[in-house]
């Protein structure tokens, strides 16, 4: 059985850290593009103001949209799910509405 040296192990950790940093940078670039798409899309809907988070309560990456209009914070019924699914497919990142009830 091959056992790497400590130097090889440390070098491998550096490779992993660099890869993860690169993936985080690419993810943030996609989030910025998604935010622009959402701003454009929501101009045609009743939602005019919203916030996004990039992690859910389980620390999963994605774009989670929290409408800031009071009547939407608890009454979203899925009317924008199809459009959000298209944006999600376009960037290969989870994009979904969230009520934000527990985040206030």
User: How high is the pLDDT of residue 101?
Assistant: 56
Mean pLDDT value across the chain: 89
- Is position 1 within any domain? no
Question: Whole-angstrom Cα distance, residue 43 to residue 73?
Answer: 18
Report, as ranges of residue numbers, the positions in the chain whose pLDDT lies below 50: 103-104
Domain range for residue 40? 6-103
User: How high is the pLDDT of residue 104?
Assistant: 45
Question: Whole-angstrom Cα distance, residue 39 to residue 36?
Answer: 5
- Measured between its terminal Cα atoms, the distance across the chain in Å is 54
- Is position 14 within any domain? yes
- Is position 32 within any domain? yes
What total of structural domains would you count in the chain? 1
Q: What angle do CA 40, 43, 48 make, to 5 degrees?
A: 115
- Is position 13 within any domain? yes
User: How high is the pLDDT of residue 24?
Assistant: 96
């Amino acid at each position: 059985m091959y056992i790497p040296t400590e130097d090889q192990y440390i070098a491998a950790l550096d490779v992993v850290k660099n890869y993860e940093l690169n993936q985080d940078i690419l993810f943030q670039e996609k989030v910025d593009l998604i935010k622009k798409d959402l701003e454009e899309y929501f101009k045609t809907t009743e939602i005019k103001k919203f916030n996004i988070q990039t992690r859910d309560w389980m620390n999963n990456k994605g774009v989670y949209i929290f409408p800031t209009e009071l009547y939407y914070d608890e009454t979203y019924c899925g009317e924008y799910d199809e459009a959000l699914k298209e944006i999600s497919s376009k960037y290969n990142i989870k994009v979904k509405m969230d009520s934000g009830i527990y985040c206030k």
